[in-house]
Amino acid sequence: MKKILLLSVALLSLGLSAQDKKITIPDLKAQFDLLNENEAGEIDPINDKEINKKVKFFIEEKFLNVEYTRNIIWDSYETFLSPFDRYHYHTYIVQVKVEEVDRLKYIEVKYNPNTDEIESNFEWNEDIEDFEELEEEKEAAAINT
């Protein structure tokens, strides 16, 4: 009985330590404070060399058919707050040159400042010679069933 209790406590503590660290309100405020408004009332794009390097490395690792990354442009910042969940991320649009394709293509990536990780729901579609967002395909399939 003692072994079962010890095993249960160990598994519970392992499960709790594996959960993502919750974002704090000061974390959200710090990201929001990075945003600057110009004279025209527009938000100036964030141009952080370290984030751009991470985005470029992510693109090179995930999309093996990309020859090079041309531009990395900050697009938006999104937050979500509820009593049960909090998250935030920056969206970047990346202009890339794909092997054997004449026109430059675009990929949307998300940067999570809390985890310092980059992710993207886009995938190369050989048939249309462009990147497609996977999330939209899943939603469309769910609606059609």
Query: Both tokens of residue 15?
Result: 């499960």
Query: What is d(CA 142, CA 134) in angstroms, rounded to the nearest whole number?
Result: 13
The pLDDT value recorded for residue 117 is 95
Query: What is d(CA 51, CA 141) in angstroms, rounded to the nearest whole number?
Result: 34
Structural domain spans, the chain: 22-144
CB atoms within 10 A of CB 11: 10
CB 120 within 8 A of CB 107: yes
Query: What is d(CA 79, CA 69) in angstroms, rounded to the nearest whole number?
Result: 27
- What 8-state DSSP symbol labels residue 41? S
Claim: this prediction has a pTM higher than 0.85: no
User: For residue range 68-102, what is the model confidence (pLDDT) as tens digits?
Assistant: 999 999 999 999 988 888 899 999 999 999 999 99
